[in-house]
Amino acid sequence: MAKGYGQVCPVARALDVVGERWTLLIVRNLLQGPQRFQDLREQLAGIPPKLLSDRLRVMEEQALLTREVYSERPPRATYALSERGRQLGLIVGALATWGRPFVPRRGGPTHAECGHRLELAHYCPHCDARVDAASIRVALAPGAPADTRRRARVGREASGARRRRAAFRR
Amino acid sequence: MAKGYGQVCPVARALDVVGERWTLLIVRNLLQGPQRFQDLREQLAGIPPKLLSDRLRVMEEQALLTREVYSERPPRATYALSERGRQLGLIVGALATWGRPFVPRRGGPTHAECGHRLELAHYCPHCDARVDAASIRVALAPGAPADTRRRARVGREASGARRRRAAFRR
Is A1 within 8 Å of chain B by CB?
A: no
Chain B residue with minimum CA distance to A104: B8
Give me the phi and psi of B125, to 5 degrees please: -65, -30
Mutate to test the interface with B, among A51, A91, A140, A159 (most CBs of B within 10 A): A91
Note the pTM of the prediction, 2 decimals: 0.80
Per-residue pLDDT reduced to its tens digit, A60-84: 999 999 999 999 888 899 999 999 9
Q: Which domains does chain A have, with CATH numbers?
A: 10-87 (1.10.10.10), 123-169 (no CATH)
Please determine, for residue A152, whether its predicted confidence score (pLDDT) is greater than 60: no
d(CA B156, CA B32): 40
Q: How far is CA B134 from CA A132, A148, B148, B159, in A?
A: 23, 34, 21, 12
DSSP A139: P
The vertex-A4 CA angle with A133 and A29, nearest 5°, equals 60
Handedness of CA A93, B125, A101, B142 (dihedral sign): positive
* Type of residue found at B103: V
Cβ contacts of A156 on chain B, cutoff 8 Å = 105-106
pLDDT for the residue B107? 74
Give me the phi and psi of A130, to 5 degrees please: -70, 145
Per-residue pLDDT reduced to its tens digit, B36-59: 999 999 999 889 999 999 999 999
Q: Are A95 and B99 a contacting pair at CB < 8 A?
A: no
* pLDDT, averaged across chain A: 82
Per-residue pLDDT reduced to its tens digit, B151-162: 443 334 344 444
Per-residue pLDDT reduced to its tens digit, A10-54: 999 999 999 999 999 999 999 999 999 999 999 998 899 999 999
How many cross-chain Cβ pairs, A to B, lie less than 8 Å apart?
A: 349
Q: Which of A107, A111, A131 sits opposite B141 (nearest CB)?
A: A107
Cβ contacts of B109 on chain A, cutoff 8 Å = 122, 136-138
Chain A residue with minimum CA distance to B17: A99
Q: Which of B8, B95, B113 sits opposite A135 (nearest CB)?
A: B113
ipTM: 0.80
